[in-house]
């Protein structure tokens, strides 16, 4: 649970004729993480892909192109498998050639034709945009062409320059046409070349900007009518092509996805020898397998090759790049996503997923301790609201894990909401002995009780009214921080001990444990009158012990990290105080809820239409507060783990366990290839190397 799966290093060697059968068996077993061959061997070299790798890769690219064209995705394929079942491999192979031919002949041809139609429509839209301003002009397109004695000025102007032109060009021949334009007025001015300069000055004063007239002959309106007719025809053809492509998608989606998966499997198998060490007569494979699967791996490989392989497995060298497969109960599995957001743990490190499984819901519940909000979030999870949101945000692949994390956090919020006696910021039960008269369920009294102070470092009266217990809650959250940080340092001590030995663990992590413990002892007993164990004796001795621990811890820290390590001493205090955000976020959530409740109930008391307005205020206020309540506690819970907790022990950087093989989703196949007799190689170099 706290450590990943123990791994065994596996070496497999055999004659070259067994290579393909070995690959098939390994692929279906999906348990061996292959190591890359290191090119420093005098007898072996890196293997070459199998002969059909190139053909399969080309076909795979065609199938993926067809999937994109036909909008066939994994979700659609999963739905088809649920309805019709997976496709047997022999059916895939029988229909693959015909499918590839149809892709080349029909699907891609239609797609190319569709692209041509879209390009033509875009071109017509561009021309229509150019012609539209000129369609209201009583001029043909050829009228805008240059003349021998006339200057033609075409463009847009903010205001109509007609009156000013009449004044400036008096006695000179000109004619102006004006129509409305999105940028003001479209101007077409025909003027004798002797008056062109004066006309340009007038146009400039009216914000003239030249526009190039469209090329062509005839009236723009006629061109527009023809283009509209052509666009309608093209759109009809496009609709028909879309319908044909949709029909092709329905007919071929299942086989297309199955064929794509089958070719992916073939390509992965065909390229597997690139990670092997090979000679003309033999091959060698090295990899890692979980300890629990080593015997099964050997058994299945021997079965597939008639006991013809040389196989050994051993404890891996801890200095090797050992792949990491996390080992957690099903309830903890979703939190592995959060661990991987930082990095995969190293092989010898403690996997912090279980710690996040415990800590994150507690922190979340302490902050958003409201039964009403928790119920709303759980209902939204059940209705799939958050699944759609995660898909919209591009996190659809992690939606199941994120939903599970949010559900656990909401259950924690529900539990703490009971202890806080909060339901949408209101008291759900009346508290015995309290002056509060309003409660949502007035006929059931909250069983208020007191916990002895010796058992807790915070509020002792249950239920906990947060605004009435700010100081006890503040001390409680800081104690949580101290305990959390202490746990992180203990795990860090263990990690250092495993990786580097006891001495380094004592200097690098034991020093901080002494500093933290000594600091807490000194701080606690120097301020014991503020609260705590009032009747505890020998406080003076305890304080001296705390100072001694601080001094010894600092000496060890200097030895382990050098004098510069002392610079980080204030960070220990800031890390502990940082946990006060649990209280701050919680109080802000309660404060917002109370504010909206007060506004809403004030409107309810006013009566009339104010009741509807009060309902809207209540709904919108709590809707916003729920969104903030998910975002704030979620992010700050993560922060307390990543920033304050993980840095005390976690390095990460491990290699993800990625076994050779693939889980079939759209096809079905047998487990291993049939055994075939072969001759054992007698090459002495091979025999020396293998045995």
Q: What is the pLDDT of residues 496-539, one digit of tens each?
A: 998 888 998 899 888 999 999 888 888 777 665 444 444 444 45
**Residue that is last in its domain, among 218, 246, 263:** 218
pLDDT on residue 532: 45
pLDDT on residue 434: 58
Q: Which alpha helices (H) appear in 85-189, and where do they start and end?
A: 89-102, 108-131, 162-168
Q: What is the mean pLDDT of the chain?
A: 85
In this structure, what CATH number is given to the domain that contains residue 16? 3.30.70.120
What gap in Å lies between CA 307 and CA 303, rounded to an integer?
Answer: 6
| Range in 182-196, 236-250, 465-479 the model is least confident about | 182-196
Q: Name the strand (E) or helix (H) holding 282.
A: strand 282-290
In a domain, 352, yes or no: no
Instruction: Kindly list the distances between the CA atom of residue 34 and the CA atoms of 27, 275, 280, 289, in Å, as whole numbers in the listed order.
Output: 11, 7, 21, 9
**What is the separation, in whole angstroms, between the first and last Cα of the chain?**
38
What gap in Å lies between CA 56 and CA 59, rounded to an integer?
Answer: 5
Kindly state the tokens that stand for 661. Answer: 């093989």
pLDDT on residue 432: 64
Better pLDDT: 408 or 280: 408
**Count of CA atoms in the C-beta half-sphere (13 A) of 578:** 19
Using alpha carbons, select from 640, 637, 492 the residue that is nearest to residue 577: 640
Interval 92-102 mean pLDDT = 87
In a domain, 334, yes or no: no
| CA dihedral of residues 193, 199, 203, 208 (deg, nearest 10) | 10
SS3 of 437-497: the string is CCCCCCCCCECCEECCHHHCCCCCEECCCHHHCHHHHHHHHHHHHHHHHHHHHHHHHHHHH
User: pLDDT tier at 542 (50, 70, 90 boundaries)?
Assistant: confident
Residue 371: strand, helix, or coil: helix
Sign of CA dihedral 299, 301, 302, 304: positive
Sole residue written with tokens 């701080």? 523
Instruction: Provide the residue count of the chain.
Output: 691
In a domain, 54, yes or no: no
pLDDT on residue 357: 95
Better pLDDT: 433 or 115: 115
Q: CB neighbours (10 Å) of residue 637?
A: 27
Q: Are 366 and 477 in contact (CB under 8 A)?
A: yes
Using alpha carbons, select from 284, 263, 288 the residue that is nearest to residue 275: 284
What gap in Å lies between CA 661 and CA 659, rounded to an integer?
Answer: 6
**Residue that is last in its domain, among 188, 218, 248:** 218
Q: Are 674 and 94 in contact (CB under 8 A)?
A: no
Q: What is the pLDDT of residues 46-71, one digit of tens each?
A: 888 888 788 888 888 988 888 888 88
pLDDT on residue 403: 93
Q: CB neighbours (10 Å) of residue 451?
A: 12
- Are 211 and 144 in the same domain? yes
Q: How far is CA 474 from the centre of its chain?
A: 34
Kindly state the tokens that stand for 262. Answer: 């089958």
Report which DSSP code applies to 441: S
In a domain, 162, yes or no: yes
Number of domains in the chain: 2
Q: Domain of 13? A: 1-47+276-323+658-691
In a domain, 7, yes or no: yes
In a domain, 240, yes or no: no
In a domain, 3, yes or no: yes
Interval 150-168 mean pLDDT = 85
What gap in Å lies between CA 369 and CA 420, rounded to an integer?
Answer: 7
pLDDT over threshold 80, residue 677 = no
pLDDT on residue 541: 74
Q: Are 406 and 412 in contact (CB under 8 A)?
A: no
Interval 208-215 mean pLDDT = 86
Beta bridge partners of 423: 426
What gap in Å lies between CA 285 and CA 566, rounded to an integer?
Answer: 49
Q: Name the strand (E) or helix (H) holding 299.
A: helix 294-304
pLDDT over threshold 70, residue 287 = yes
pLDDT on residue 101: 87
Q: What is the pLDDT of residues 3-17, one digit of tens each?
A: 889 999 999 999 998
In this structure, what CATH number is given to the domain that contains residue 196? 3.30.70.2750
Q: How far is CA 416 from the centre of its chain?
A: 29
In a domain, 619, yes or no: no
Claim: this prediction has a pTM higher than 0.95: no
**Residue that is last in its domain, among 169, 195, 218:** 218
User: pLDDT tier at 591 (50, 70, 90 boundaries)?
Assistant: very high
Sole residue written with tokens 């903010």? 158
Q: How far is CA 305 from the centre of its chain?
A: 42
Q: Name the strand (E) or helix (H) holding 449.
A: strand 449-450
């Amino acid at each position: 649970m706290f450590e990943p799966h123990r791994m065994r290093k596996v070496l497999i060697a055999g004659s070259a004729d067994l290579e393909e059968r070995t690959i098939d068996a390994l692929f279906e077993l999906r348990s061996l993480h292959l190591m890359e061959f290191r090119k420093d061997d005098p007898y072996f070299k890196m293997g070459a892909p199998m002969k059909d790798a190139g053909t399969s890769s080309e076909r795979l690219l065609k199938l993926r192109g067809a999937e994109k064209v036909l909008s066939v995705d994994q979700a659609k394929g999963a739905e088809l498998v649920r309805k019709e079942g997976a496709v047997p491999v022999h059916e895939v192979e029988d229909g693959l050639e015909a499918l590839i031919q149809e892709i080349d002949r029909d699907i891609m041809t239609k797609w190319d034709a569709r692209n041509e139609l879209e390009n033509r429509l875009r071109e017509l839209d561009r021309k229509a945009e150019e012609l539209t301003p000129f369609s209201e002009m009583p001029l043909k397109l050829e009228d805008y062409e240059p003349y021998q004695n006339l200057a033609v000025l075409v463009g847009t102007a903010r205001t109509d320059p007609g009156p000013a032109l009449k004044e400036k060009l008096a006695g000179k021949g000109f004619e102006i046409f004006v129509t409305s334009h999105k940028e003001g007025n479209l101007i077409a001015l025909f003027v004798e070349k002797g008056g062109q300069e004066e006309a340009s000055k007038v146009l400039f004063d009216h914000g003239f900007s030249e526009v190039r007239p469209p090329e062509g002959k005839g009236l723009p309106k006629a061109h527009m009518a023809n283009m509209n007719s052509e666009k309608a025809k093209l759109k009809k053809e496009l609709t028909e092509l879309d319908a044909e492509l949709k029909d092709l998608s329905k007919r071929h989606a299942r086989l297309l996805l199955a064929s794509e998966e089958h070719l992916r499997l073939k390509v992965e198998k065909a390229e597997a020898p690139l990670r092997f060490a090979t000679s003309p007569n033999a091959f060698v494979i090295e990899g890692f397998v979980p300890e629990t699967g080593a015997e099964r791996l050997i058994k299945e490989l021997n079965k597939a090759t008639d006991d013809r392989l040389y196989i050994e497995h051993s404890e891996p060298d801890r200095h090797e790049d050992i792949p990491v497969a996390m080992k957690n109960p099903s309830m903890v599995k979703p939190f592995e996503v959060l661990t991987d957001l930082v990095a995969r743990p190293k092989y010898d490190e403690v996997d912090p997923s279980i710690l996040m499984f415990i800590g994150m819901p507690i922190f979340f519940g302490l902050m958003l301790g409201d039964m009403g909000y928790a119920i709303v979030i759980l209902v939204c999870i059940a209705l799939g609201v958050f699944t759609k949101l995660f898909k919209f945000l591009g996190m659809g692949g992690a939606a199941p894990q994120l939903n599970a994390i949010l559900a656990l956090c909401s259950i924690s919020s529900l539990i703490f909401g009971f202890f806080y006696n909060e339901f949408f910021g209101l008291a759900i039960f009346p508290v015995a002995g309290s002056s509060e008269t309003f409660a949502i369920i007035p006929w059931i009294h909250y069983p208020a009780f007191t916990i002895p102070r010796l058992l807790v470092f915070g509020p002792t009266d249950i239920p906990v009214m947060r605004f009435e217990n700010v100081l006890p809650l503040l001390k409680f959250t800081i104690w949580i921080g101290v305990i959390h940080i202490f746990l992180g340092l203990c795990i860090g001590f263990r990690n250092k001990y495993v990786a580097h030995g006891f001495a380094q663990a004592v200097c690098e992590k034991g020093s901080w444990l002494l500093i933290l413990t000594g600091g807490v002892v000194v701080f606690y007993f120097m301020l014991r009158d503020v609260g705590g164990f009032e009747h505890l004796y020998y406080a003076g001795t305890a304080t001296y012990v705390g100072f001694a621990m601080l001094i010894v811890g600092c000496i060890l820290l200097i030895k382990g990290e050098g004098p510069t390590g002392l610079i980080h001493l204030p960070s220990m205090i800031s890390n502990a105080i940082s946990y006060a955000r649990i209280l701050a976020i919680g109080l802000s959530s309660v404060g917002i809820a109370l504010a909206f409740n007060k506004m809403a109930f004030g409107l309810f008391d006013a009566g009339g239409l104010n009741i509807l307005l009060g309902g809207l205020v209540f709904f919108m206020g709590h809707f916003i507060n729920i969104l903030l309540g998910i975002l704030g506690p979620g992010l700050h819970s993560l922060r307390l783990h990543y920033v304050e907790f993980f840095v005390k022990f976690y390095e990460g950087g491990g290699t993800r366990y990625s076994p050779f093989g693939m889980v079939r989703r759209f096809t079905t196949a047998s487990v291993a290839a049939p055994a075939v007799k072969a001759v054992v190689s007698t090459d002495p170099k091979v025999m020396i190397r293998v045995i």
